[in-house]
Structure 1
Amino acid sequence: MSVATTESPELLRSYIERIERIAEEIQALKDDQKVVFAEAKTQGFDPKAMRRIIKRRQKDQSEVAEQESIDDNYMHAIGMTSEHPLHVQVRRLTADGIGREQVIEALQLLIPVNGEIIASVGGQPMRLWRTADGQSFAEDYVPPLFEDFMNKRKAS
């Protein structure tokens, strides 16, 4: 037995009682939460969907976007969706009318680790890639044929 428990039983009892009160308060809050979910259900709301939304709101938005991107890619890979998720995302982005930099930023979330895409965003092609450690990068893309043509032209 440790010295603290033999010399100060009242202090130990106070800690235990405080922890028990907190546990009771937590249980009361959980019961209140059940009542709110039940009320919402009587109004026609889906409690399971509400729970998913609550969990989602507690996460960082970039984490949510990345998880959705991975899920979409997997669902496409096993035939659950007919259209490639990248095409869907690009269509959404252009429909929202967001700027070129925002499109590039959003596309970087869709790139798998060690992957790359080349996309024409606002006219100028961009090379977007992600490294093994998950960092995303973007740069203007110059197709190799054009680069060769320009080098030959400069040489002559």
Structure 2
Amino acid sequence: MARIERLEEEKANIANDIGEVYSEAKSSGFDVKILRKLIAMRKKSKQALAEEDEFLSVYRAAVGL
């Protein structure tokens, strides 16, 4: 149980650190929403990104964008 509590504390500290980095980026003029999307994209495989782009193109065309 103590290990879980320690890990939860570490997780909270890491989340706080990540928040600080995003705050620093925002104060430097970066759009945090876009940065978060880029980070999410980097986690995906090239194939997954290509499929997502293809679906987005199809859906954009379907709704007239």
Q: Taking structure 1 as the reference length, what is the TM-score of the superposition?
A: 0.41
1:48 equivalenced with 2:42 (yes/no): no
Please, which runs of 5 or more residues in structure 1 have no aligned partner? 1-15, 81-156
RMSD: 0.6
**Alignment match, 2:61:** 76
2:9 aligned partner: 24
Q: Distance in 2 between matches of 1:78 and 1:48?
A: 24
Which one has a larger percent helix, Structure 1 or Structure 2?
Answer: 2
Q: Equivalent pairs: percent with the same residue?
A: 37
Q: How many residues align?
A: 65
**Looking at CA atoms only, which structure, 1 or 2, has the larger radius of gyration?**
1
Shift of 1:77: 1.5
Q: Which amino acid aligns with 1:60?
A: S
Which residue identity lines up with residue 32 of structure 1 in the other structure? D
After TM superposition, give the deviation of residue 74 of structure 1 in Å.
1.1
* TM-score (normalised: structure 2): 0.96
Query: Which residue of structure 2 lines up, in the alignment, with residue 147 of structure 1?
Result: none
How many angstroms does 1:79 deviate by? 1.0
**1:95 alignment partner in structure 2:** none
Q: How far has the Cα of 1:68 moved from its partner?
A: 0.8
